[in-house]
Amino acid sequence: MNEVQRPWYETTMRWGQTNLTEIDPERYDHEHWERQWTRTSVDGIIVNAGGIVAYYPSEHPLHHRSPYLGDRDLFGEIVDRARGLDLTVVARMDCNRAGERFFAEKPHWFCVDAAGVPYRAAGRYISCIHSPYYDEYIPEILAEVIDRYRPDGFADNSWSGLSRDRICYCRYCSASFTQRAGAPLPHAHDWSSPVYREWIAWNYDRRIEIWDRFNEVTRRHGGTHCLWIGMNSAQMESQSANFRDLGRIVQRTPLVFIDHQRRMPETGFQANSHTGKLVHDLMGWRGQAAESMAMYNHYMPSFRTASAPEPEARMWAVSGMAGGILPWWHHIGSAHRDRRQYEIAPPLWSWHQGAQRYLVDRQPVANVGVLWSQHSFDVYGRDDARMVAESPYEGMVQALLRERLTYRPVHTSRLADVLGELDVLILANVGSVSAHDADLISEFVRRGGGLVLTGESGLYDEEGTRREDFVFAELMGATALHRHHGDRRLPETSWEVSPAHTYLELLRPGRSESQSHPLLDGFESTDQIPFGGRLECVKVTTGRAVATLVTPYPAYPPETAWQREPATALPAAIVNEPGSGRVVSLPADLDRCFGRGLQPDHARVLGNAVRWAARQRIPVTYEGAGTVDLHLYRQGDRLVLHLVNLSAAGAWRMPMHEDIPIGPLRVLIDAETAGVDWSDQPLQARALVSGLELAKSSTRAGIELELPRLVDHEVVTVEPQ
């Protein structure tokens, strides 16, 4: 199929969005925004059509028009301008709220609490996703917009209805749930109740039903390629709170719209490359994922009309590009006192246009997979899922980054397909693992795969019920004791009581180098490292403990800060070699601890665990001072390498104020693990940001590249000349 025939969702590589506010019909400047579209080389725009506020003269009596619209059709005018420049047009909807007039006409379409009192947000009423508002009203609006304007597709901002923290008791919810569950709606959030768990499943299913229903409507009215795409995020917490099952959603659309507009303090810029890789793992690397990126000041607190600090917005965008995300600039409102925000996107978006063929349609080269389980987040994490289930994952991937190890996120639904491409699978406290997935993983290990498990991984079944023993007990060479030591949260206490003043004793029989396990590499000068976290108590069976817990002792006054008791026999790290595989289990939650405290010792143990389990097979790493988010891809007979410089202090405490260049860096690519053998061929290594031709050397064992300087990011293509 040639370029002309390919549908818009495959060919639109850069996006722009002026998110209209109610006043904008009075002040929207077409010339200004057309110029911005051109300066940023966008292929498509997202423009507000309707939902909460309509920007066109809708025929529907309840569709609230902007009070400033008058006789204008601002949406239609913008569509015409964009069409004049041959741009893709996506109509933006915002489905989930309405005002007084709508509520007065259709009170039953809105969410209510158990007493029948409507749930409200910012003075508006929240439409119920189980009501005809979604089944009838929104489809009518979608049809109206298509019939009049023929947009290429739709984006929907807050499409997924009432969030999980509240239960709607409207007549539609009541009838639908009772029909499905044979029981009335749950009275409270109680994960131990099967009815509540059914309510969760019913809610997830309804979002999928709505996704399919809206797409059926848009395709019927607008043709096969007229897609409706709701916004999603790759944060487990946000997806679960809104009943959006990332796996099921991404697998039913060729284009994903991501609403993750800025960096969060705890996950950093690298969260954006992670998002791109996770979404592409689910949809395939030929599919596209575009992300709304704030050009406004979206930090703490947010200033919706002020400019983002330029380095901060740029770094977020380049981190996304490293994960294959397509850039999409986003401004709130069409006129601003702070015009600096218009200057952020043009250079980077234009660079993207020049480099785009290297930035999409490629395969990640990574032999380490980290299992991403939204299901475990829900049924195991339950009411404290962020702390229980997501923070260990975040800490683990942060540690891998610091240890200069690359990885790929693996969604649970992709396990069977991906395991064959991995040397190591990591379960960062994935408590709930189905028997089916456990079988796949066990088979992988027995055939020689590596497995790194932390915390309670595999101790719970698919329903989130605690098993009698770890489903991986045999692989771990350890058995559950069903108790734990310490806490997930750092206790907020003074030094006067020190429950988290714990350590790990490193076990070296006879203290001999030869008997020290590689898990302890780098700790030759110490017998203990700090801990301070939660340890799941286990008993070793066939495995070998290489570290044990030292229980708390006083921290203050200093005269009392000495270890009273010898180290316990409670293992904190266990190694085992079942079949021809290698397993490291870490009952000590070093992943969660690292996410919160960034202790180098914790990252080192995690890194050692992965290196040992991978038999030291590392596809790509780097040498030189600095911290780099590194990604390697294969694209036909070419390697594409991304480096994002995370060395500035501002990369670890937002926002970024300035770039701090590093270099030189030596990048080492292991030819066999990367799947290339170019030892006899002259190579070309081009840096697409700096424009440099890089010094390189190639042997059968690997390729070495010398990057003299890294400012913010670099993309290097390596291929035979």
Say whether residue 78 binds Zn ion (CB under 5 A): no
Residue 168 binds to Zn ion (criterion: CB under 5 A): yes
Q: Which of 49, 54, 89, 173 binds Zn ion (CB under 5 A)?
A: 173
Among 42, 62, 141, 170, binds Zn ion (CB under 5 A): 170
User: Using CA atoms, how far apart are residues 666 and 685, in angstroms rounded to an integer?
Assistant: 13
Q: Confirm if 296 and 306 have CB atoms less than 8 A apart.
A: yes
Any contact of residue 155 with Zn ion (CB under 5 A)?
no
DSSP 186: P
Q: How far is CA 281 from CA 9, 229, 232, in A?
A: 18, 19, 15
CB-based contacts of 239, cutoff 8 Å, min separation 6 = 232, 233, 245, 246, 374
**Do 528 and 551 form a contact (C-beta atoms < 8 A)?**
no
| 185 touches Zn ion (CB under 5 A) | no
CA nearest neighbour of 197 among 412, 415, 432: 432
Question: Shortest distance, CB of residue 240 to Zn ion, whole angstroms?
Answer: 19
Q: How far is the CB of 256 from Zn ion (least distance, A)?
A: 27
**Region binding Zn ion by CB under 5 A among candidate stretches 38-46, 66-74, 127-135, 519-527:** 127-135
| Residue (128 or 317) nearer to Zn ion, CB | 128
3-state SS class at 521: coil
For Zn ion, the binding residue among 47, 89, 93, 128 (CB under 5 A) is 128
The least distance separating Zn ion from the CB of residue 176, rounded to whole angstroms, comes to 8
Question: Which residue number, 172 or 328, has a Cβ lying nearer to Zn ion?
Answer: 172
- Cβ-based nearer residue to Zn ion, 106 or 484: 106
Question: Which region among 125-133, 340-348, 404-412, 712-720 touches Zn ion (by CB under 5 A)?
Answer: 125-133
Contact segment (CB under 5 A) with Zn ion among 120-128, 320-328, 351-359, 585-593 equals: 120-128
Q: Which residue has the tokens 């059509």?
A: 49
Is residue 126 involved in binding Zn ion (CB under 5 A)?
no
Query: 641: left (phi > 0), else alpha (psi -120 to 50), else beta?
Result: beta
**CB of residue 168 to Zn ion, shortest distance in Å:** 3
Distance CA 391, CA 110 (A): 35
From residue 410 to residue 449, the character string flagging contacts with Zn ion as x (rule: CB under 5 A) and all else as - is: ----------------------------------------
475 binds Zn ion (CB under 5 A): no
- Among the listed ranges 163-171, 235-243, 251-259, 601-609, the one in contact with Zn ion (CB under 5 A) is 163-171
**Which of these segments, 144-152, 169-177, 290-298, 677-685, binds Zn ion (CB under 5 A)?**
169-177
Select from 166, 167, 589 the least CA-distant residue to 387.
589
Q: First and final CA of the chain: distance in angstroms?
A: 28
Report the nearest approach of Zn ion to the CB of residue 171 (Å).
8
Stretch that binds Zn ion, among 129-137, 289-297, 429-437, 575-583 (CB under 5 A): 129-137
Q: Give the nearer residue to Zn ion in terms of CB position, either 170 or 529.
A: 170
Taking the C-alpha atoms of residue 687 and residue 685, their distance in angstroms, rounded to an integer, is: 7
Helix (H) or strand (E) holding 321: helix 310-322
Cα 124 from Cα 135, distance rounded (Å): 20
Query: What minimum distance in Å lies between the beta carbon of 129 and Zn ion?
Result: 7
Nearer to Zn ion, 167 or 593 (CB): 167
Helix (H) or strand (E) holding 565: none
Contact 647, 628 (CB under 8 A): yes
- Comparing CA positions, the residue from 495, 593, 507 lying closest to residue 553 is 495
- Which stretch, 13-21, 167-175, 634-642, 709-717, contacts Zn ion (CB under 5 A)? 167-175
Cβ-based nearer residue to Zn ion, 127 or 502: 127
CB 128, min distance to Zn ion, A = 3
Task: Reduce the DSSP state of residue 334 to 3 states and report it.
Answer: coil
Q: What is the residue whose two structure tokens read 């010339």? A: 31
368 binds Zn ion (CB under 5 A): no
Residue 131 CB, nearest distance to Zn ion (Å)?
A: 6
Shortest distance, CB of residue 644 to Zn ion, whole angstroms?
Answer: 44
Taking CA atoms, 389 is separated from 282, 456, 581, 641, 687, in Å, by 20, 10, 26, 31, 39
- Total chain residues near Zn ion (CB under 5 A): 5
Amino acid type, 683: L
The answer to whether 167 contacts Zn ion (rule: CB under 5 A) is no
Among residues 85, 52, 226, 73, the alpha carbon closest in space to that of 151 is found at: 226
Q: Residues in the site for Zn ion, rule: CB under 5 A?
A: 128, 130, 168, 170, 173
